[in-house]
C-alpha cells in the first residue's frame, strides 16, 4: 500500500492515466499483461498505448516498478484518495476561485438531489462544524 504524500507532491493525472491508475489501485500491483484485459475492454487500448501511459506514470512517480525476471511489476506510489483530492482541489481553484460554496451552489442549482443525498450533505457540514 502506498504511503501518504504531501498534497504538493501528488502528481497530476490525465483522464487516460486515471484509467491505468484505477486498475493498479484495484489490483494493488501487477504486470502490464495483468491489467490489459480490463483496459482493452473498457478503453479499446492496445498494449503499446498502455505501456506508454504506464511509462509516463512511472516518470511522474505515480507508479513504481521493479523487475522480476523479464517483466516489470508495477504498483501505485500514491493513494487514490490523494489523487482524487489533488484533482478536486485543482478544479475548485481553477473554476471557483478556490471556494467550495460556489461549487456546491452550482450543483445544487443544476443537479437533481434526492432527500438522502441532501441529508448526507447536511451531515457532512454538521460534522465539519463540530470539528472547527
pTM of the model: 0.80
| More confident: 9 or 70 | 70
What percent of the chain has pLDDT above 70? 94
When the candidates are 1.10.10.10, 2.40.110.10, 1.10.10.60, 1.10.3720.10, the CATH number that belongs to 7-80 is: 1.10.10.10
pLDDT digits (tens, 9 = 90+) for 71-106: 999 999 999 999 999 999 999 999 999 999 999 999
| More confident: 121 or 1 | 121
Q: What is the pLDDT of residue 107?
A: 87
Q: What is the pLDDT of residue 132?
A: 86
Task: Reply yes or no on whether the pLDDT at 6 is more than 50.
Answer: no
Nearest-10 Cα torsion for 104, 90, 52, 5: -110
Handedness of CA 25, 15, 51, 67 (dihedral sign): negative
Phi-psi region of 111 (alpha: psi -120 to 50; beta: other; left: phi over 0): beta
Distances (CA, A) of 70 to 39, 66, 67: 22, 11, 7
pLDDT digits (tens, 9 = 90+) for 110-125: 988 899 999 999 999 9
Q: Where are the domains of the chain?
A: 7-80, 99-132
DSSP character string of 12-79: P--HHHHHHHHHHHHHSSB-HHHHHHHHHHHH---HHHHHHHHHHHHHTTSEEEEEETTEEEEEESS-
Amino acid at each position: 500500500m502506498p504511503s501518504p504524500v504531501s498534497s504538493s507532491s501528488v502528481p497530476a493525472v490525465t483522464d487516460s492515466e486515471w484509467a491505468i491508475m484505477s486498475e493498479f489501485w484495484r489490483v494493488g500491483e501487477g504486470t502490464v499483461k495483468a491489467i490489459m484485459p480490463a483496459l482493452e475492454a473498457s478503453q479499446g487500448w492496445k498494449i503499446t498505448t498502455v505501456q506508454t501511459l504506464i511509462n509516463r506514470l512511472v516518470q511522474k512517480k505515480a507508479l513504481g516498478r521493479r523487475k522480476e525476471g523479464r517483466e516489470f511489476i508495477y504498483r501505485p506510489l500514491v493513494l487514490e484518495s490523494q489523487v482524487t483530492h489533488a484533482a478536486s482541489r485543482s478544479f475548485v481553484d481553477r473554476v471557483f476561485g478556490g471556494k467550495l460554496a460556489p461549487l456546491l451552489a452550482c450543483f445544487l442549482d443544476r443537479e437533481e438531489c434526492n432527500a438522502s443525498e441532501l441529508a448526507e450533505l447536511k451531515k457532512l457540514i454538521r460534522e465539519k462544524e463540530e470539528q472547527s
